[in-house]
A = this chain, B = another copy of it.
């Protein structure tokens, strides 16, 4: 595997989920595979879960890990070509990426969207250039429009917690927030679930208020409704997440209905398990009673980030 940026980089969805769960049973089964190899993790935005889980996964494979936090002032990267760098940017991504590729066998990079210019964000310019100039395999640690390690961990979690012969109904449910958040997590979750649906693994519905439709690129095959209560009927998994508007790009639109999942709404479901990528704003995005209740999977879901990262790293180190 040379790149892990979207679900399209995975050839065999069901097999890689199984592989991740085998790693969970035997975390050190491949601890020689990464010996003498170095993983570099580049953060243009802060990270807790992604950094720790990916670092842990790499260490379990025997790799050395170097972390670069470039989110501070004074290390602004230039991504445009053909401009004289006489302003605030101190290094071009061409050199920065190529140099890191000299020191690392695999690289990961995180870069959030600015939520100002939709075309710029959705071009994924920074990830694509970094990947193209660094010369080594690259893992997205969340890019402007996707968060594939999260979505892979989510699919692992659903698969792990579904033991019935039927196909589970999975609902991506928009939730309120006070800040304008990227669409990366819901886009990515949606493209992984659509792929899983096509493979007969899940039945996928998206619920969001009017004005919050995701880009159709990520939602092919999904059922989309504008009522949370309607979506929750028969749900086996509810994936709660806020995002800002794609159509009215980066905006928070007024929403009159109650969209926060609480126990009353959870009762509509088929005794559904509740997921969230974290961090979560308690009693704003999701009721504390749900988070602290028996149907919440948010902590083991975060734990599964390790096995997602480890399965991806294993393939980058090996021949797949």
Which residues of B have CB within 8 Å of A168?
none
How many Å lie between the Cα of A92 and that of B72 in the bound state?
Answer: 24
Expressed in whole angstroms, the minimum distance between the Cβ of A158 and any Cβ of chain B is: 18
Whether A46 pairs with B66 at a CB distance below 8 angstroms is no
Query: Which bucket holds chain A's interface residue count?
Result: 35 or more
Question: Mask for A139-183, Cβ within 8 A of B = 1, else 0?
Answer: 000000000000000000000000000000000000000100000
Whether B86 pairs with A278 at a CB distance below 8 angstroms is no
- Known contacts: A53-B103, A59-B38, A102-B302. The answer to whether A280 contacts B75 by CB under 8 A is no
Which residues of chain A (294-311) have a CB below 8 Å from chain B?
Answer: 298-300, 302-303, 306
Whether B52 pairs with A91 at a CB distance below 8 angstroms is no
Which residues of chain A (271-316) have a CB below 8 Å from chain B?
Answer: 278-284, 288, 291-292, 298-300, 302-303, 306
Whether B74 pairs with A46 at a CB distance below 8 angstroms is yes
- Known contacts: A48-B68, A102-B299, A298-B95. The answer to whether A281 contacts B56 by CB under 8 A is no
**Chain A contact residues: helix, strand, loop or mixed:** mixed
Expressed in whole angstroms, the minimum distance between the Cβ of A261 and any Cβ of chain B is: 14
Question: Which listed residue, B85, B96, B284, touches A84 by the CB 8 Å rule?
Answer: B284
Whether B66 pairs with A55 at a CB distance below 8 angstroms is yes
Question: Which listed residue, B70, B85, B279, B280, touches A283 by the CB 8 Å rule?
Answer: B85
Whether A68 pairs with B52 at a CB distance below 8 angstroms is yes
* Max count, chain B CB within 10 A of own CB: residue among A52, A60, A82, A303: A52
Expressed in whole angstroms, the minimum distance between the Cβ of A152 and any Cβ of chain B is: 16
Q: In the assembly, how many copies of this chain are there?
A: 3
Task: Report if A90 contacts B (CB, 8 A).
Answer: yes
Whether A279 pairs with B96 at a CB distance below 8 angstroms is yes
Expressed in whole angstroms, the minimum distance between the Cβ of A99 and any Cβ of chain B is: 4
Task: Report if A98 contacts B (CB, 8 A).
Answer: yes
Question: Which listed residue, B84, B86, B284, B299, touches A98 by the CB 8 Å rule?
Answer: B299
How many Å lie between the Cα of A86 and that of B70 in the bound state?
Answer: 28
Specify the chain B residue showing the minimal Cβ separation from A135.
B299
Question: Which listed residue, B40, B70, B280, touches A95 by the CB 8 Å rule?
Answer: B280
How many Å lie between the Cα of A43 and that of B50 in the bound state?
Answer: 18
Which residues of B have CB within 8 Å of A53?
103
How many Å lie between the Cα of A273 and that of B302 in the bound state?
Answer: 50
Question: Which listed residue, B48, B85, B288, B291, touches A281 by the CB 8 Å rule?
Answer: B85
How many Å lie between the Cα of A53 and that of B83 in the bound state?
Answer: 29
Which residues of B have CB within 8 Å of A64?
56, 59
How many Å lie between the Cα of A78 and that of B291 in the bound state?
Answer: 15
Expressed in whole angstroms, the minimum distance between the Cβ of A87 and any Cβ of chain B is: 8
Task: Report if A100 contacts B (CB, 8 A).
Answer: yes
Question: Which listed residue, B87, B91, B291, touches A280 by the CB 8 Å rule?
Answer: B91
Whether B278 pairs with A99 at a CB distance below 8 angstroms is yes
Give me the 10 closest cross-chain CB pairs, A-B, nearest first: A91-B279, A102-B303, A85-B281, A84-B283, A99-B302, A52-B103, A98-B299, A59-B64, A85-B282, A86-B284
